[in-house]
Amino acid sequence: MSRFLAIVPLCALLLSTCSSKDPMDAASAAGTANMFRADHQRSGSYRPFSAPAGNNAWTFRTGMALLGSPAIHENQAFIGSMNGFLYAIDLKKMSVEWKVSAGARIHASPRIVNGRIYFGDMAGTFHALELDGTELWRLPTGAPISHSACAKESTLFFANAKGTVYAVDWASGGIEWTHDNDRAVIGPPVVAGSEVFFSSDGCVSALDTATGKPKWQVELSAPSPPVFNAGMLYVSSLGVLHAIQPADGAIKWTSENCGFGITPAIDGNWAYVTDPMGDMCSIDLLSGKKRWVFECEQEFGQPDSFQLVPDRFPAPCMSNTLAFYATWVDYVYALDRITGALVWKLKIKGRAPSTLVLSGDDLHFGTFDGWFYSVNAQSGKLNSRVCLGLAIASAPALSDGRVFFGSDASCLYAATEEGMMLWKYETAARVRGAPAVEGQTVFFGSDDGIFHAVETEDGTAKWTFSTGESIVSSPLVKDGRVMFGSGDGVFYCLDARDGGRIFTFEAGAPIVSSPCLSAGAVCFASDRYLYAIDASTGRRRWRFELPADSECTPAASETMVYLGDSEGNVHAVNLSTGEKQWSARVQGPIAVAVALSTRLLHFGDASGRLYAMNRETGRIMWEFVAGGAIRCPPSVCGEWICFGSDDGVLHILNARTGKLVKECQVDDRITTAAVPWNGKILFGTSAGHLIAIQ
C-alpha cells in the first residue's frame, strides 16, 4: 500500500515552493508535449490543467493480439502473435522459453506434426521449425496465410488469401500440388480419407489429397469451416447446421434454425455451436433438433465486423463433462454438456478470438490484448497468465492533435487524440527512445542504429542516418539542428532538413541518456560522466565525474544541471563551471530523469519511492512510497505530479505536499513517462498499450 512520509512542516514547504524567481520556471510552465520531458531543458514540467478523474479515455493497442489457438506439445504451448513472433511457453512455469520472428504478423494457429511446428504468416510465408525454434524451411506463397494447416501422412495442406490450396511435403517443404480456388478460403482445411475439405465464399469443396483435383462442390451461404466426425462433415451456415456426406457432398440433413452460425464442435452424437452474441446451442446429430440453448446474461451490444468472420470466432472446446467457449466481451464460460447449465464463468483481460485448447486439467488460450492464459477447467480459477505483448518504452510526443510513439514491435505509430491509428512507420528494430516533433517532421532512433526523419502527415520517410549502434537517446531539436547520442559512444548533431552531419563528439562509451539544452550548453550522461558541450560547435565545455554510471537524462535550469546515478546518488552541477553544487543519497538506484517544479526536483528510484528535493540544497522535502519500483520519470503539471510504477499503478500526487490525489490501476507494468496533454494523461505499458486517462 502507498504511504506518504512527511519530512518538513507544510508551512516551510509552502514558503520554499512559492517564492521562486528562477527563470527556468517561466519556460517550464509553457512546456509542451512535442518532445521528451516537455522542453529543451528536459524539465518534465508541462502546462497545467486540473488533475484527471482517473477514467480510461481510450487504449491504443500496438497489434500484439493472439488471434490463433495455441498448439500444445507435452509441457509446451506454441502460439503466434500479431507482433510477428511465434512464442514457446513453458506451461509449468508460465514463462516464455523462446520466441522466433516470422518477419510478419501471425494470425494462424500453429500445427505440430511429427515433432515439428508449422504455421503461416500474413506475408504469405509458410514456416517449419524444430521444437526448439530452429528453422527447417520456409515456403513463400505470395499471399497472406491466416489459417492453420492439416496433415495426412507426409503431406501438409493449407490455403492462402488468394484461395490457393497447397499440398507440401512436411519434411522438405516441396510442393506436391496446388489448386487455384476461384473464391477466398474460409478457415483451415480438414482431411479425411482420400479427400481434403475446405469452405470458401459461398461453398464447401472436396479435393483429392493425392492430385488436388476437385471431387465435388456444394453451394452454401456464409459457411463455417468444415468439421469431420464419425464419417460425416458438419458445416454451420446462416443459423443452421448441415450434415454433409463426404463422398459426394450431398446434404444429409439440416438442423432447426437456431440463429447460430459459428464453427461447430462435434462430440459423439451432439454438436455445440456458438453465435457472435455469446450464446451456445447444442444440437442432436441424429435428428438435427436443438437439445438446449444457453443465453448469456451480459448486455453485449454489437460485435465488430472482424469478429463476425466464422473462422475467427472461438469454437467450443470439450471435456468429458463440460463445454467451454469464450465470448467477445471478455468472458470464458463452462457449461454442463448434458443440460447446458452454467458451471462457471471467468472474466478475462481482452477477448479470446480463437478456440480454447484443453490440455490435461487446464484450458489454454490467447487474447486480443496479448495475454496467454492457463485456467483450471473444472473450477474456472486462473492458474496463471503471461503477457506476450511487445512493450512501449517510448514516451509519446504530441503535436497538432496527433500522438507519436515507438514500440518494441519495431514501429513508430501516429494516432489521433481519440486513440485511432493514422499510420505506422516500420523499422528494422525496436523504437525505445521518445520521438521529437518539429514542424512537419518527427525524429527518432531505433535499435539498429538508424536515425529517422519522417513526415508527420503520412509517415513517409524524409531521410535516415546510420550510426554504429542502437539509438535509445531521445533527440533534441533546436534551430534547424537535431542532436542525440548513440550506443556507439558518439554524440551526433545533424541538419534537421536533410540529415547532413554538422558535428560529432566522441564520449568513448555508449550514450543512452537524452540530451538537455540550456544557456548554449548541451548536457548528457555517458558511463560515469556528465558532459557539457557547446551547442554550436560540439566542443567540450566540461566533464563531471560521477561516483557510479548513469543512463539518466539530465534536467537543467538556467544555472544548474541535475542527474541521478545507478547507486542512488543525485547530483546538482553548476552549468557554467561543471563544479558540484551538492550531492545527496537515496534508498535505491536511480534510472529515471528528474522533473523540475518551482524550487523542487522530483524523481523516483528502484525502491519505489518518489522524492521531492530542494533544488538549492538537496534536502528531501517529502517522500511517497509506491507499490513497485519506479523506472519511469515523473511529470509535473502545475500543482500535481504523475508517475507510474512497476505494480501497474499511475499515481497522481500534490506536487507541493506529496499527498495522493488519485490512483489508477492498469493491468500491465507502466513503461514510459506519463505525459499530461489536453486534459488527459498518456503512458505506455509492457503489454504494448498506449493508455489515455481522462
In the numeric block, the cell 487524440 is attached to 417
DSSP character string of 607-658: TSEEEEEETTT--EEEEEE-SS---S--EEETTEEEEE-TTSEEEEEETTT-
| Residues 690, 684 contacting (CB under 8 angstroms) | yes
Query: What pLDDT, on a 0 to 100 scale, did the predictor assign at position 421?
Result: 87
Query: What pLDDT, on a 0 to 100 scale, did the predictor assign at position 2?
Result: 40
Nine cell digits for residue 646: 512497476
| Residues 664, 693 contacting (CB under 8 angstroms) | yes
251 located within any domain: no
| Residues 436, 35 contacting (CB under 8 angstroms) | yes
138 located within any domain: no
CATH code, 493: 2.130.10.10
d(CA 446, CA 448): 6
Whether pLDDT at 78 is above 80: yes
- Residues sharing a CB contact under 8 Å with residue 439, sequence separation 6 or more, in sequence order: none
Whether pLDDT at 48 is above 90: no
Number of domains in the chain: 1
Q: pLDDT band at 382, cuts 50/70/90?
A: very high
d(CA 217, CA 342): 39
For residue 616, how many C-alpha atoms fall within 13 Å in the half-sphere facing its CB?
8
Percentage of residues of the chain with pLDDT beyond 90: 61
Percentage of residues of the chain with pLDDT beyond 70: 90
Query: What pLDDT, on a 0 to 100 scale, did the predictor assign at position 349?
Result: 74
Query: What pLDDT, on a 0 to 100 scale, did the predictor assign at position 468?
Result: 83
| Residues 504, 491 contacting (CB under 8 angstroms) | yes
Query: What pLDDT, on a 0 to 100 scale, did the predictor assign at position 201?
Result: 86
Query: What pLDDT, on a 0 to 100 scale, did the predictor assign at position 314?
Result: 63
Query: What pLDDT, on a 0 to 100 scale, did the predictor assign at position 389?
Result: 73
Instruction: Select the more confidently predicted residue: 299 or 505.
Output: 505
Summarize pLDDT for 345-376 with one digit per residue, the tens. 998 877 777 789 999 899 999 887 788 899 99
d(CA 482, CA 37): 16
Supply the pTM of this predicted model. Answer: 0.73
- Residues sharing a CB contact under 8 Å with residue 17, sequence separation 6 or more, in sequence order: 597, 598, 599, 600, 656
β-bridge pairing 421-426 and 76-80: unpaired
Query: What pLDDT, on a 0 to 100 scale, did the predictor assign at position 355?
Result: 83
d(CA 270, CA 398): 56
Whether pLDDT at 280 is above 70: yes
Summarize pLDDT for 651-689 with one digit per residue, the tens. 999 999 999 999 999 878 898 998 888 788 899 888 788
Query: What pLDDT, on a 0 to 100 scale, did the predictor assign at position 66?
Result: 85
Q: What is the mean pLDDT of residues 540-545?
A: 97
d(CA 160, CA 125): 9
CB atoms within 10 A of CB 113: 18
Nine cell digits for residue 526: 555517458
Summarize pLDDT for 579-604 with one digit per residue, the tens. 999 999 999 999 889 999 888 999 99
Q: pLDDT band at 556, cuts 50/70/90?
A: very high
Query: What pLDDT, on a 0 to 100 scale, did the predictor assign at position 614?
Result: 95
d(CA 240, CA 515): 65
Rounded to the nearest 5°, which phi and psi values hold at 475? -70, 155
369 located within any domain: no
Query: What pLDDT, on a 0 to 100 scale, did the predictor assign at position 126?
Result: 98
* SS3 state of residue 335: strand
Instruction: Select the more confidently predicted residue: 531 or 354.
Output: 531
Instruction: Pick left, alpha or beta for residue 368 (phi over 0 → left; psi -120 to 50 → alpha; otherwise beta).
Output: alpha
Least confident stretch, 120-124, 248-252, 414-418 = 414-418
d(CA 153, CA 622): 70
Whether pLDDT at 25 is above 60: no
Query: What pLDDT, on a 0 to 100 scale, did the predictor assign at position 487?
Result: 96
What does the chain come to in residues? Answer: 694
Q: What is the mean pLDDT of residues 325-345?
A: 90
Instruction: Select the more confidently predicted residue: 115 or 56.
Output: 115
Query: 634: domain range?
Result: 3-61+390-693
Closest CA to 228 of 185, 257, 199, 201: 199
Q: What is the mean pLDDT of residues 415-437?
A: 91
d(CA 628, CA 649): 9
Query: What pLDDT, on a 0 to 100 scale, did the predictor assign at position 55?
Result: 75
Q: What is the mean pLDDT of residues 253-257?
A: 83
Supply the mean pLDDT for the chain: 87
Q: pLDDT band at 394, cuts 50/70/90?
A: confident
Closest CA to 477 of 42, 29, 14: 42
Please work out, in degrees rounded to the nearest 5, the angle formed at the alpha carbon of residue 31 by the alpha carbons of 30 and 36. 170
54 located within any domain: yes
Query: What pLDDT, on a 0 to 100 scale, did the predictor assign at position 473?
Result: 95
d(CA 592, CA 674): 12
Instruction: Select the more confidently predicted residue: 299 or 517.
Output: 517
End-to-end CA, the chain: 24
Q: What is the mean pLDDT of residues 261-285?
A: 82
Query: What pLDDT, on a 0 to 100 scale, did the predictor assign at position 22?
Result: 41
Instruction: Select the more confidently predicted residue: 95 or 32.
Output: 95
SS (H, E, C) 585-598: ECCCCCCCCCEEEC
Instruction: Give alpha helix (H) positions in 151-261.
Output: none
3-state helix, strand, coil split of the chain in percent (to 5) is 5, 50, 50
Closest CA to 157 of 149, 169, 147, 145: 149
For residue 620, how many C-alpha atoms fall within 13 Å in the half-sphere facing its CB?
18
* Cα 659 off chain centre by: 32
554 located within any domain: yes
d(CA 77, CA 96): 10
Summarize pLDDT for 128-178 with one digit per residue, the tens. 999 999 999 999 999 999 999 999 999 999 999 999 999 999 999 999 999
| Residues 184, 212 contacting (CB under 8 angstroms) | no
Whether pLDDT at 10 is above 50: no
Whether pLDDT at 4 is above 60: no
In the numeric block, the cell 486462473 is attached to 382
Query: What pLDDT, on a 0 to 100 scale, did the predictor assign at position 583?
Result: 95
Q: Which of the given ranges, 133-137, 290-294, 383-387, has the highest pLDDT on average?
A: 133-137
Whether pLDDT at 9 is above 80: no
Whether pLDDT at 310 is above 60: no
Q: Cα–Cα distances in Å, from 22 out to 404, 464, 579, 621, 656? A: 31, 39, 20, 19, 17
Q: pLDDT band at 276, cuts 50/70/90?
A: low
597 located within any domain: yes
- Residues sharing a CB contact under 8 Å with residue 366, sequence separation 6 or more, in sequence order: 65, 66, 67, 68, 69, 70, 79, 81, 352, 353, 354, 372, 373, 388
173 located within any domain: no
Nine cell digits for residue 682: 498518456
β-bridge pairing 402-407 and 411-416: antiparallel
332 located within any domain: no
- Residues sharing a CB contact under 8 Å with residue 430, sequence separation 6 or more, in sequence order: 390, 393, 406, 407, 408, 409, 410, 446, 447
β-bridge pairing 635-637 and 45-46: parallel
* SS3 state of residue 61: strand
CB atoms within 10 A of CB 304: 9
Amino acid at 548: A
Summarize pLDDT for 195-236 with one digit per residue, the tens. 999 999 889 999 999 999 999 999 998 888 899 988 999 998
Whether pLDDT at 481 is above 90: yes
Whether pLDDT at 625 is above 90: yes
Instruction: Select the more confidently predicted residue: 296 or 500.
Output: 500
Query: What pLDDT, on a 0 to 100 scale, did the predictor assign at position 178?
Result: 97
Q: pLDDT band at 192, cuts 50/70/90?
A: very high
